[in-house]
Structures are given as structure tokens and as C-alpha cells.
Amino acid sequence: MVLPEATRIRLPKIKTGLIEGKTSQQIAKECGVKRQTIERDKQEWRQSGDFEDWIKEEWLRLHLLIQEKDPIIAYKEITRLLGKTLTQKVETALTQKEPFVIKMWKPEKDAEKQP
């Protein structure tokens, strides 16, 4: 998915705002748009896959800094990020309009088949 040009123009301010912990309302004010516009931009950014790439790059950059100072905090943060990322992927799959398939695997059944 290609982001609309207007979203691409606002994206640097959105990224900076997220890093600084700003709300969508605060980012919207800086961009001169409504909060809903920023929410839509963020949603389209997530759907494009670029958000996940950016968050991983940003996280790795910060993780290296934290790891040097406090490896325990670094471990906790990577665990939290992975949990959140996996949760978002499941939520996204559940909200898609297209049907999706869940495949279940039971290791004990595979073990029974082997001689």
C-alpha cells in the first residue's frame, strides 16, 4: 500500500511526535489538521507495513543505547515490544474483512504417526 502524498508530507512530524510522546491531538495542531486526520494517517501507515519497519529500526537504535547502560531494562523493553507487536498482528488479522484461516497443530498427533 502506498501512502497518500499528504500523509507522506505529515509523516516526519508524526514520527517526531510519537518519539516525543505527543498525542494525536498535539501532532494534529502542529500539522494544522484535525486529530482524525492524524489518526487516519497513523492507521494507513500501519497498514502499509512501514510503521512496523520504522518502529523496529527506532527500537533497535534505542535498544543499543539502553543495552550499554542497563541490560535488564533492555531485555524488559524487547519483551514488551515483541508482545505488543504480536498482539497488534492478531488484532489486525481479526479486523480484516477477508476471511482468514487458523491452523492448529498438536505435537502429540505428529508423534503418534512416526514409527
Domain parsing of the chain, residue ranges: 1-47, 49-115
CA 109 to chain centre: 35
Q: Which helix (H) or strand (E) holds 33?
A: none
**For residue 45, which of 90, 77, 6 has the smallest C-alpha distance?**
6
pLDDT band, residue 115 (cuts 50/70/90): very low
Please tell me the predicted confidence (pLDDT) of residue 26.
96
Asked if pLDDT for residue 34 goes beyond 50, the answer is yes
pLDDT band, residue 93 (cuts 50/70/90): low
Rounded to the nearest 10 degrees, how much is the dihedral formed by the CA atoms of 13, 25, 51, 4?
Answer: -70
pLDDT band, residue 100 (cuts 50/70/90): low
Q: Which residue type sits at 38?
A: I
